[in-house]
Structure 1
Amino acid sequence: MEQRRGSSSQPLKAEPVTGAGFDPAFIPGLTAPAGEQPEDARPEEAGPDGTAEASAGSGATGAAVATGGPDGTESGATAAADDAEAADDDAEPAADGPVFEAADRRARIVADRRGVRLALDDQGCEFRWDEIGAVETETARFGKRFTVTVHTPDSRWYPIEIEAKARSDFKQWEEQLDAVLDAYFEAE
């Protein structure tokens, strides 16, 4: 009589698995499942000499296009184009109206003719004036925290706190932000 050693169960067939149970960053409709890659992140077709052809540029940017981005979803050329576009946006003169800007070591708030931009560490968001329902400010009773909260029409809010060097900065920041809101924000 023959006996087998080990388990008698057969290994499961590997099928692509999607959903938040397997990928905590998966948001249906916003992010692709981990197994899928968008068309622009797939490897380039091999040229006649057997090497991958990069159609958008040369040098480091061309190499980034051929290999895809670090997360496999965005090519290096697209990321470089986005960075260049952001630099162009920041280079635009905003001197044609009032500007409010406050920052500390972690957070930053900018309100100008383009809208309101909030940044905390490496995360940021931008709201155009037509996307804003209300802007609320609050100062801490004790301490030096200045809170700006952007409310959207769909009942979401985005607060950010800035630590002031002195409590006397609060009055100046309130005046500057009020000037920007008076100039650009249209209450409906």
Structure 2
Amino acid sequence: MEHRIGQNSPPVHAAGTDPAFIPGLTPPRPDEAAECPPPVPADAAPETEAEEVAAEADETEAAAIEEEPPPVADGPVFEVSDRRGSITIDSTGVTFRLDDEKAEFGWPEVGAVETGTPWLARHLTVTVYTTGHRSYHAHIDAPSRKLLKQWATELDAALDSYFEDTKAT
């Protein structure tokens, strides 16, 4: 009688043999691939009225997603900038700008915000921790230590209004 020693699992494609291999993702099962409808060409006209209505609904939904919601004027606004970047905290969330790049974090995706002012330096550091366990930070240079302290006080007040303290005192 023969017994196998070790794991009884099928072989898995590795990155060395399959350039499309991504660890943690499994390829679709053959029966799932057969259930997927074939792609429709972009210039194909809808054949029925139901397809036409569905296409119009998809276009309307896509247009609504592309439009940015207007900023809400509730809550305090904190904004600081230097020659290259800026940090804005308002009722929509946290926005970092550096040169031509922009990163926006809405309040639903922000898990925490950390601020820092080094002892001898004159810059404000703001770090955003998202609910997806990622962190992003921005630095803004202050012209003076006095202004840096003022920024830190204003930033704490703005963050306190957006993050409610859930502890009972």
TM-score range, shorter chain: 0.5 to 0.7
For 1:70-122, what per-residue CA distance to the aligned partner results, in whole angstroms no more than 9, with x for missing partners?
xxxxxxxx9xxx6xx55x74xx463x421110101111110011111111111
- For residue 101 of structure 2, the aligned residue among 98, 110, 123 is 123
For 1:119-165, what per-residue CA distance to the aligned partner results, in whole angstroms no more than 9, with x for missing partners?
11111111111211111111122231111101112221101000001
Q: Is the 8 A contact 2:72 2:91 kept in 1?
A: no
Aligned residues with identical type, % of pairs:
45
Partner of 1:135: 113
- For residue 151 of structure 1, the aligned residue among 129, 149, 154 is 129
Distance 2:43 2:103 in 1: 32
- The residue correspondences of 1:30-179 to structure 2 (distance < 5 A) are 85=67, 89=70, 92=71, 94=73, 96-179=74-157
Give runs of ≥4 in structure 1 deviating > 3 Å.
Answer: 42-45
Q: Which amino acid aligns with 1:155?
A: H
Shift of 1:44: 8.2
Q: Is the 8 A contact 2:92 2:106 kept in 1?
A: yes
Structure number with higher strand proportion: 2
Q: Is the 8 A contact 1:98 1:176 kept in 2?
A: no
CA root-mean-square deviation: 3.3
For 1:34-72, what per-residue CA distance to the aligned partner results, in whole angstroms no more than 9, with x for missing partners?
xxxxxxxx9989xxxxxxxxxxxxxxxxxxxxxxxxxxx
- For residue 184 of structure 1, the aligned residue among 157, 162, 165 is 162
Q: Which amino acid aligns with 1:131?
A: E
Distance 1:116 1:127 in 2: 5
Size of the aligned set, in residue pairs, is 117
Unaligned regions of 5+ residues in structure 2, if any? Answer: 1-18, 21-40, 45-61
Q: Is the 8 A contact 1:110 1:118 kept in 2?
A: yes
Unaligned regions of 5+ residues in structure 1, if any? Answer: 1-17, 20-41, 46-77
Q: TM-score, normalised to structure 2's length?
A: 0.55
Q: Is the 8 A contact 1:133 1:187 kept in 2?
A: no
Distance 1:159 1:125 in 2: 10
More deviation in 137-146 or 119-128? 137-146
Q: Which amino acid aligns with 1:116?
A: V
Distance of aligned partners of 1:152 and 1:186 in 2 relative to their CA distance in 1, 3 Å threshold: farther
Distance of aligned partners of 1:135 and 1:93 in 2 relative to their CA distance in 1, 3 Å threshold: closer
